[in-house]
Structure 1
Amino acid sequence: MRYLPLFLDLHGCPVTLIGAGTVALRKARLLTAAGARLTVLAPAACTELAGWAEAGRLTWQAVPFSTEALLATRPRLVIAATSDPAVNAAAADCCRARDIWINVVDAPAFSDAIFPAIVDRSPLMVAVSSGGAAPVLARQVRARLETLLPAGLGRLADAAEALRPAVKQRLTDPEQRRRFWEQALQAPSTADALAGHPEATVADWQQQLAGAGTTAAEGEILIVGCGSGAPDELTLRGLQYLQRAGLLAHPSTIAEPVLALARRDADRLLLDLLRPDDWLPHLAGLARNGQRIALLLPGDSRQGREWMTYWRNAGLRVSRALGVQAD
């Protein structure tokens, strides 16, 4: 991973944009939409940016780039969007010498931060980036996502935000909250929010919440076959199991790219498959206490049949997803 995906809160933050042409205009639209306190450094500006300056949406300093002019704006983030490579390189040198983050448009080698392709369903945002390797590919992926994600997803996220305080107050256990939201966001009433009626969705969720938390969370063990170790050898069901689990139990032979497909907050437990007596009762106890456990096995998971029988005889809920066997 060359770049760590982050979402920055730029509301009220000083950001400096070097350049005021059409490329700079595209960046200015994003930065002002994010609430940045934007200063533009450029001897001349395109009509739209000049109009924004007159309207007070940004500050335009009609001066050429210089280190002094840039530092006088006291920026937290700098975007260099000029057609002059020497100016862009000088801006990058200035910022890096002072630990100021900079993005040089179409020049990843000079950039500490890059702009992704964005699918905007505010407050839900999806960012796609190739790290500067293939921007057109990132845009094509974004275009595909635009067709897959309903336009009303933002309203659904707003509905969830409205109910979050009540859910947190009612369900003090994080695992109970997670399971509530998993069920709520799959309920038929989500269609109301997507169609523009979030109040109906919230009302349905409130009814669900009224009955939530009255019983302990039910644990389960999910056995996942991982094939020969390539992530694409997981079945869809196996991937779903992996992403539901709060604990990953696995031998050392399970590759990190497979483990990385799980929830980021999932705990991990390393197992010796040749000594099942050491961990079979332990996993059973965790499941009885409400844990949702994914047991990851190499191959197609058939070796876990005996363990399934053990856990089911103990009254536990156990499911299995076979892996894809490589040729």
Structure 2
Amino acid sequence: MRYFPIFMDIQKRPVLVIGGGEVACRKIDMLLQADADITVVAPSIKSYLMNYVEEDKIHYIKGFYHSDLLAKQSYVQVWATTDNSELNHQVYRDAHDARILVNVVDDTPHCDFITPSMVNRGRVQVAISSGGSSPVLIRMIREQMETQLSSKIAMLADFGADKRNVIKQHFMTVDERRKFWETFLRSPEVEKLTTRNELEQLFSQYLSSNIETKAERNWIEYHQETEMLTLKSLRLMQQAEWVICFNDCPSEFVELCRRDAERLYVDTEQEIAEYLHQAEVENIRVTILLKKGHLLRNATLQAYLSSDIYVPTL
């Protein structure tokens, strides 16, 4: 993984854009959505951008780029969008010397950061990137996600933000709050709702009832590639509070489990049995990753497996 995924808060923070053509227009539209404080430097700019200047949405410095511009404000980002590669590379060097993050558009080797393809659902943003290697593939993935992610997600995200203080007052621990939201958002009733009022009513019902989570054991079989996992496997792996696996389990399977789940690596089946006993006492949801073809010999684990959820690989 060459590029570290990060969402950067640039609201009201100064950003410098070099160039005033079509490419600058596209980037400035995106930066405006993030409410950045944008300054454009160019001998001339498109009328599209001039409208922004007249509406006082962006600042415009009419003229040619020179390195002294970087010292005028504490810019957090610099964008080089001109069709002059020599000038763009000079901007790149100057920004590096000034220790400012820089992006030279369509020139990945001269970028400290790149912008992913985005799927937006209000507060929810899904970023997709191939590190600049396959933009057509990324566009196809984005198109698929656009059809799969409901517009209801935006409403749910806004609702969750509005109810943060209510939940903090009702539940004392982070674990209790997380379990409530998981139970509420995964409820079949939520799928049927279409309005905020309906969501409020359901929320009140769940808040007034006792949400109890029980111990749960899900056995996920893996084979050679992560693509062989079923959708059910991936869903259950995202619900785990503990992930138990043998030390030789490939990391790519473990990393598909919930990010904040505790990873428990073992050498023997007896260790798994001990962890599962503890999980049952503490009402913890566990995912156990088993390699395809592994035959359990421990009698306790065999008994668990006969009554648990086991999801084979494809």
**TM-score normalised by the shorter chain: which range applies?**
over 0.9
> How far apart in 2 are the matches of 1:10 and 1:192?
36
What residue is the counterpart of 2:74 in the other structure?
Answer: 74
Alignment of 1:1-327 (within 5 A): 1-191=1-191, 195=194, 197-213=195-211, 215=212, 217-228=213-224, 230-273=225-268, 276-300=269-293, 302-303=295-296, 306-311=299-304, 318-324=308-314
Mapped contact 1:192–1:201 kept (Cα < 8 A): no
The Cα of 1:261 is off from its aligned counterpart by 0.5
Structure 2: where are the runs of 5+ without partners? none
2:270/2:298 contact within 8 Å kept = no
Q: Structure 1 11/225 Cα, relative in aligned 2: closer, same or farther at 3 Å?
A: same
User: The residue matched to 1:41 in structure 2 has which SS?
Assistant: strand
Deviation of 1:91 after TM superposition, in Å, equals 0.9
CA contact (8 A) 1:159 1:199 kept: no
The 1:304–1:175 alpha-carbon spacing in structure 2 relative to 1, beyond 3 Å, is: farther
- 1:224, 1:295 within 8 Å by CA — same for their partners in 2? yes
Deviations 1:13-66 (A, max 9, x none): 101111111110011011011110000011100001111111110100011111
Q: Provide the C-alpha distance between the structure 2 equivalents of 1:160 and 1:171, rounded to a whole number of angstroms.
A: 15
RMSD over equivalenced CA pairs, Å: 2.1
Q: Is 2:78–2:102's contact at 8 Å kept on the other side of the alignment? A: yes
SS of aligned partner of 2:126: strand
Gaps of 5+ in 1: none
Q: For the residues of structure 2 that align with 1:307 and 1:323, how far apart are their CA atoms?
A: 23
Question: More displaced, 262-271 or 281-290?
Answer: 281-290
Separation of aligned partners in 2, 1:183 and 1:199: 19
| TM-score (ref. length: structure 1) | 0.89
What amino acid is aligned across from residue 74 of structure 1 in structure 2?
A: S
Question: Within 1, Cα distance between the matches of 2:292 and 2:176?
Answer: 32
CA contact (8 A) 1:308 1:318 kept: no
Kindly, what percent of the aligned residue pairs are identical?
A: 28
The 1:282/1:148 distance shift into structure 2, 3 A limit, reads closer
| Structure 1 Cα separation of the partners of residues 165 and 295 of structure 2 | 44
In the aligned structure 1, how far is the partner of 2:188 from the partner of 2:44? 54
Quote the offset at 1:83 in angstroms: 0.6
User: CA–CA distance in 1 between the matches of 2:199 and 2:60?
Assistant: 45
* Distance in 1 between residues matched to 2:304 and 2:147, nearest whole Å: 43
Distance 1:190 1:225, change over 3 A: same
Partners in 2 of 1:294 and 1:180 — Cα distance? 20
Asked if the contact 2:119/2:142 (under 8 Å) is kept, the reply is yes
Structure 1 position 278, deviation (Å): 3.8
C-alpha contact (below 8 Å) 1:301/1:321 kept by paired residues: no
The answer as to whether partners of 2:218 and 2:310 remain within 8 angstroms in 1 is: yes
Contact 1:160 1:202 in 2 (8 A): no
Separation (CA, whole Å) in 2 of partners of 1:188 and 1:251:
35
Displacement of 1:247 in angstroms is 1.1
Q: Figure out how many residues of one structure are paired with residues of the other and give that number.
A: 314
- Whichever residue aligns with residue 257 of structure 1, its letter is E
CA distance in 2, matches of 1:5, 1:206: 36
Aligned residue type for 1:285: Q
CA distance in 1, matches of 2:222, 2:91: 48
